[in-house]
Every structure is written in structure tokens, then in C-alpha cells.
A = this chain, B = another copy of it.
Amino acid sequence: MMAALVQSNPRTGDLGGNMEFLVAAVQRAAAADAELCLAPEMALCGPNAGDILLRTGFVEECREVLNAAALRLAEGRNPPLLLGAPVSNPVPTGKSLQSGAVLLHEGRVRVLGRKILLPSGGIHDEAGYFEPGVACGVLSLKGWRFCVTLGEDAWNEESAHIGRRLFSRDPVADFFSAGGADCLINLCARPYEQGRVAPHEQLLARLAERYRIPVLAVNMVGGNDSLVYYGGSLALDNLGRYNGRAEFFAEDLLLADLSGKRPATRLDPATGEAAPCPEEPERLRPEEELWRAVVLGLGDFVRKCGFGRALLGLSGGADSALVAALAAEALGPENVAALLMPASGFGEEGMEDALALARNLGVSSHVLPVSPLLDAFERLFGQNFAGGLSGFPGKNTLARIRGALLMAYANCFDAMLLATVDKSEAAVGRATLYGDLCGGIAPIGDLYKDQVRALCRHYNRKHPGAIPEAILRKTPSTEGALGRGDGDPLSSAVLDPLLRDILEGRENLQGLVRRGHDPAAARQAEILVRKSEFKRRQSPPALHLTARGFGGGMRIPVASV
């Protein structure tokens, strides 16, 4: 039995385009003797389609596209295709949709399974749209009996959980205690989060071992709003050993022979050429994995929003340097513009470094001195209000003048503005709303300051000297617009560890002190995180890269105590 894992990158809502890609992949797989094709959970409509799912007639549109594809695939010697798609709930109560595993075979469309364990909370909202199914699906094909699962349905094995199990049922255990199968299929759409790729592969390996069956897990790939699906679709043998894996962070097609007679191969999606999978599974270094996730998420977001170009403001600091390097790789340096907006006393000293960076990256740069604009604001304000625009209102106004110029450039040249805010700044509100928080997306909004520096150094290892050392030597507190006054107890050195314990650790004040943080700093950080929610609520979507990212992974009330 030769299976083809179609690792697709769907556009949300583009039923026709997504299906077209799958049909072409099935035809290529057929030419390579595949007998069964698998595509990800929600491959038809894209993941997190939100209220698009609720549009009148949407599930009928899905059905029509599936029917048409089934008929097309039946004209020729194509293998069946099993993919994820929204389907109608046949029961008259409960939500009207379910998350289905749908088989296109011999010109017909058949719902083989309906997802049972629907995640909710954090970035997940499946429980808000779908009614849960009852049991895993079954596919019988050429003497093989497959257990068909969607996403979380296969991930609740008891031994897999160190902490709390969020679902009490294990649908796969139920399935095997009621009969069993020769192979486990898992269609999923699993977003990238740091440090969670390898443990998930271990979970799948334990499943294969426990039930002594090969496992085929096909994952989605590509950026969709805040989430980056990471691909890496996996074929394991019946002892849980690596058989083959599709590319991380790229469309791919993996061919795996379940009998184990032939080694797994990959078909290049561009050329169609077959290449054997490496004998040992490739491991990405954590920084390279993170780098690729951001490049894919940034590039896909810009492209899927219909843009070909991006711009950003270069301050001479590490954040904007990293975003510039990421954008140059994601979109091509010829499609990236950098605006430098010095003002007397604010960030003038970093301009040489910023210009050198732009030259090194090959992105275009423009220098717009903004002091005259700030003067004009100060004049008008001072004429009307005693006290004028001194202190932080003035700094904020400067940031907003820069934001307005960046947006004017974006409007004039049809480019998407990239926000350069990082997670440390977003957490405590060290950024100006409608100023440096302007942008279509915040590519590094889920990376702490220390991670920003680590990724810059990672980039410089591949491109020596690209990011000038002077930029990396600056401490964040000296980064003009973002620095705070003297005597700030939340210096960068204490802030990142504190924020990790507050955000990732969900610690309260007592817990923070118990972990050794200074009580005054802990208290201040905790208040700032809470009080800054109004800024984050109006910030561009941040790419979600950790289990507790600001791109949907956290929900904090704006007005709270």
C-alpha cells in the first residue's frame, strides 16, 4: 500500500483554489503509483475560517466543490483522496457543522469521520463552530483497515500527558479496544509553537508502538493570519520508527510504502521530481526552526493579504533590523523598503547603522527628517493648551508622526507596513499605539528581546556582518524611542525572565517572589502587563510562536483589576 501525504498550504475561504491544488497533487501521486492520498484537516477551506463557516450555504458550497473534484478524479486512474473539510451535522440539535474527514473515491463523496475532541481556549475555537463527533472513522481499502482520525482525536493517549489531560476520552484507545486497524491516519492542522515539534513526533511514535501499526500523519503548512502551520508530515512504521517526512515550512508531497518494501520519497512540488527521504530524520536547530517559521508566516500573511511589497521603519535598533532581514528573505530584498525618520534628540545616532543594514540586505532606504513635523505639532498644541507637548505626550506624538509617514508610504506604494514591536515591549506597553504599533502584522511580536538578539546573531552566522555589530551591541534601553527614563526598575535584564514567569508560567505575585524576582519589579511588571492590554487589543496580529503568544494565545480583559 503506497500512501501519498499531500502537505498543502490552503488559502482561507478559497475552496476552488485549494481543491485545485489537491487534485493536481493526487494526479502527480497517481503517476508515482500512490494508492491512497491524504490531505490535512480543513484542507478544503483553510484553518480557522471563523465566521466564513457560518455563511448561509457555505457547507453546500463545500459539498459542490468536493463533488466536482470527486468526478474529476474518477476520470483517470486516480487513487482515493481523504481530506479534512467542514460537513453538515446530521443530527437536528447541536451546532450545524462538524469537522469531517471526507473521502473522494469512484466519483463519490463520503464522510468517513467527524472530529471528536474539539480544542477551545487560547488560539483554538473549534468548539465554537463544530459539534463533536462520536467515534473515529474507518476506511477499508485493498485489504487494509485504516483508523481515521482528525487532529486532537489521536493525541490524547494517556502516557502522552505530563500535565493535565484536557479531554477525558481517548478515541483511538476506544477504537482499538473495539476492533483495531492496520494503520492509523491522522489528518491535522497543527500550528507551530517553539519546542513542540519533536515531542509531538514522539507522541505519534508511541501510538505506533502501542498499537503496533504504521502511522501516517499529514499536517498543513503555511501562514494563516497569526498561525504558522509547520508541515513536517510524517510516516512511521509499525514500531514507531521514522520512515519518511515531508519538508518543514514548505508545501510537499511524501510517498510512503506501508509494507516497508520501498523507502519513502518526496515529490518536489515545483519540478515533480522524486527524491528519497534522508535515512535519518533531519533535525532543525531551534533558531533555524524559529527563523523559518517567521519567514513563512510573514511572507504568507503579506501575500495572502494581496500584497507583494512591504516596508518598515528602521530605528537603528535590533528589532527593526531583524524584521528587515526576515522581510528581505520572505519577500525578496527588492520588495522591501526601509524608512529612516530621524528627529533631533531622538534616534539620530542610529541612522548610520540603519543605512549600512539596508545596504547589506539590499533593501531600498529613504531618509525623512521629522523634526519639522514635530515642531508643527508642538506649535499648534502649545498655542491652544498651556504646557504644550512636553514629556511622554511629545514622544508619543513623534512616534505617531512616524506611523503616519509609514502609512502614507504604504498607501502610495501599495506595500504592507510591518510593525517591529517585540513581545517584551508588547507585554509591558513600551510602544506607542498608532505610532510604532502601526502595521499589518507584527512578525516578531511573540519573541522576547533576548530571542530577537539570538535570531539576529543566527542570521549573521549565515550572512556575516549583515546586521552591523553596533546595532547588536546596543542595549534595549538605549534604543531611542523605546527607552525609558532613568531609574526604571524594569531593565531589560530583569524584564524577560519576569515576563516568562508571568506569561508562560502564569505566576501570580507570590509565585514570582518565590521564584526569586524582586517584589517591586514583579508587582510593576504584573500591573503593566494588565494595563497594556488596551494597546495589544489594537495592535497588528502578532505571529503566534509560543504556547502563550499575543497572537490569539492570550485573552486578557481590557478593563480589569
Contacts and interface: CB of A to CB of B under 8 A. Distances in A.
Contacts of A96: 164
A56 interface: yes
Interface in A488-517: 505-508, 510-511
Contacts of A166: 93-95
Interface in A85-141: 91-96, 120-122, 124-125, 127-129
A555 interface: yes
A557 B11 CA distance: 11
A429 to B, nearest CB: 13
B167 A93 contact: yes
Nearest to A400: B404
Interface string A544-561: 000000000011111111
Contacts of A379: 372
A94 B164 CA distance: 7
A434 B538 CA distance: 10
A152 to B, nearest CB: 14
Nearest to A539: B538
Contact of A556 (B52, B164, B304): B52
A408 B384 contact: no
Contact of A409 (B385, B537, B541): B385
Nearest to A48: B557
Interface string A48-77: 111110111110010000000000000000
Contacts of A377: 373, 404-405, 408
Nearest to A390: B412
B393 A381 contact: no
Given A93-B168, A127-B127, A380-B373, A12 B55 contact: no
Interface in A375-403: 376-377, 379-381, 384-385, 387, 389, 392-393, 396-397, 400-401, 403
A56 B124 contact: no
Given A57-B511, A58-B508, A538-B538, A381 B396 contact: no
A510 B58 CA distance: 11
Interface string A348-387: 0000000000000000001011101100110111001101
Given A94-B168, A167-B93, A434-B438, A412 B389 contact: yes
A238 interface: no
Most chain B C-beta atoms within 10 Å of own C-beta, residue among A96, A379, A385, A411: A411
A418 to B, nearest CB: 13
Determine how many copies of this chain the complex contains: 2
Given A51-B555, A93-B164, A372 B380 contact: yes
A393 B412 contact: yes
Contacts of A125: 120-121, 125, 128, 555
A305 interface: yes
A508 B555 CA distance: 31
Given A540-B538, A557-B225, A559-B225, A164 B92 contact: yes
Contact of A560 (B12, B376, B384, B561): B12
Interface string A1-33: 000000000011110010000000000000000
A149 interface: no
A358 to B, nearest CB: 15
Contact of A52 (B120, B409, B412, B557): B557
A534 interface: yes
A145 interface: no
B396 A412 contact: no
Nearest to A14: B561
Contact of A408 (B54, B129, B389): B389
Contacts of A17: 561
A165 interface: yes
Nearest to A381: B408
B384 A368 contact: yes
A408 B369 CA distance: 21
B370 A380 contact: yes
A224 interface: yes
A408 B398 CA distance: 10
A46 interface: yes
Given A380-B372, A389-B408, A49 B95 contact: no
A407 interface: yes
A301 interface: yes
A440 interface: yes
A13 to B, nearest CB: 4
A13 B538 contact: no
Given A366-B384, A373-B376, 10 more contacts: A11-B561, A13-B557, A56-B511, A127-B128, A301-B558, A372-B376, A380-B405, A389-B408, A400-B434, A433-B438
Query: What 4 A-B pairs come out closest when comparing CB atoms?
Result: A121-B128, A393-B411, A304-B559, A14-B561
